[in-house]
């Protein structure tokens, strides 16, 4: 029986010596080349596994120019919105024979640039990126090196986003739908905890928020809109100051479900009951083990992940063609964190 080496890697020559085939035949069999019979491949694969053979990725890359590695770069892997998509992309890529390298940027431009630089230095075949706020220069770096990439969840400004494929949600309609829901329930003073304006989804959701107000004949009040960090936990103190510092609001709209749940917790700390005293809507439709079922704008995270992988694989297959720009529809998922103003008044009178 073949023995594993005590020191060093098992080589193609070692497998050849054990099987009686040439090193070239072993190499072609492990690369699944069509000129090697399935019976021979099976014998060689079984022996390679038995001996603990691990392919030399660098040598393979030097021969083929293909690493079979894909980088997935996101802003906050602790956010279930990202982690669900990353898991889906990783599984899909694995089925196609690719390994995934995951980077977390904390929505920081320097960390994002480092992730891109490391990815390029590691010769990844392509990159899936959710860009950090203001990340146009980092996208320029990808273009400079000619690295295939697809943006997920966010897009760039029109002039900066030329020749860029992306998969995003219809964020303007999402903001409109969420705000219209609150307006239909009688809410007029809605605090909006939004992400930085450099994030496309934040800009577009604010546009939808304002459109709903305009259709309802209500003047936009900028003092109700506040920019907060979108990374988990970083905006808590600012949100607490705002929620405790004014009492004229009856509802909160938050950039993400994570921020929405932070708002729920803060409101309850302040002695306010959700939704009796204040309604709350988030974005992403993440299911948490909380007492409330959050009302949220839902997008298909699975569909977004799949479309991104499909577009990138097309690029890697040499079928670049026109850039693909996918905008997915969203919908309001009703929970128990929104209540009508008149319903609340009736109960208090009763």
- Over range 215-244, report the average pLDDT: 94
pTM of the predicted model over 0.95: no
Tokens linked to 265:
């917790």
pLDDT digits (tens, 9 = 90+) for 48-90: 888 888 766 555 554 555 678 999 999 999 899 999 999 999 9
CB 290 within 8 A of CB 347: no
- Over range 88-116, report the average pLDDT: 95
Give strand pairing partners of 74: 104
Confidence tier at 318 by pLDDT (50, 70, 90): confident
Q: DSSP per residue over 264-299, as a string?
A: HHHHHHTT--TTTT-EEEEES----SSSS--EEEE-
Give dist(CA 101, CA 218) in Å, integer. 48
pLDDT digits (tens, 9 = 90+) for 268-312: 999 999 999 999 999 999 877 667 799 999 988 999 999 999 999
The mean predicted confidence, pLDDT, of the chain is 89
Confidence tier at 7 by pLDDT (50, 70, 90): very low
What percent of the chain is modeled with pLDDT above 70? Answer: 89
Scanning the structure block, which residue is given the tokens 């080589």?
11
């Amino acid at each position: 029986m073949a023995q594993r080496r005590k020191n060093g890697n098992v080589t193609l020559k070692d497998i050849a010596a054990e099987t009686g085939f040439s090193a070239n035949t072993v190499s072609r069999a492990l690369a699944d080349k069509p000129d090697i019979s399935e019976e021979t491949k099976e014998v060689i694969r079984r022996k390679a596994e038995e001996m603990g053979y691990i392919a030399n990725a660098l040598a393979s890359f030097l021969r083929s120019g293909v690493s079979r590695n894909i980088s997935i770069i996101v802003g906050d892997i602790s956010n279930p919105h990202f982690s669900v998509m990353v898991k889906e992309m990783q599984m899909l890529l694995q089925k196609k024979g690719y390994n995934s390298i995951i980077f977390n940027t904390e929505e920081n431009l320097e960390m994002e640039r480092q992730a891109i630089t490391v990815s390029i230095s590691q010769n990844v075949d392509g990159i899936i990126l959710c860009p950090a706020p203001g990340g146009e220069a980092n996208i320029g770096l990808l273009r400079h090196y000619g690295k295939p990439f697809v943006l997920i969840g966010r897009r760039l400004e029109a002039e900066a986003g030329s020749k860029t494929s992306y998969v995003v949600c219809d964020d303007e309609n999402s903001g409109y739908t969420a705000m219209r829901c609150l307006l239909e329930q009688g809410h007029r003073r809605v605090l909006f905890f939004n992400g930085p304006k450099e994030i496309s989804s934040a800009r577009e959701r604010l546009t939808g928020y304002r459109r709903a107000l305009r259709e309802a004949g209500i003047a936009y009040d900028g003092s109700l809109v506040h920019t907060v960090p979108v990374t988990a936990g970083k905006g808590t103190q600012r949100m607490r100051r705002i929620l405790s510092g004014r009492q004229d609001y009856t509802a909160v709209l938050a950039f993400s479900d994570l921020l929405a749940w932070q708002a729920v917790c803060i409101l309850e700390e302040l002695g306010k009951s959700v939704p009796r005293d204040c309604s709350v809507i988030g974005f992403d439709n993440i299911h948490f083990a909380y007492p409330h079922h959050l009302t949220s704008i839902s997008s298909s995270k699975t569909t977004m992940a799949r479309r991104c992988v499909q577009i990138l694989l097309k690029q890697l297959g040499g079928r670049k063609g026109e850039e693909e720009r996918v905008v997915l529809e969203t919908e309001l998922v009703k929970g128990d964190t929104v209540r009508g103003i008149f319903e609340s008044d009736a109960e208090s009178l009763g």
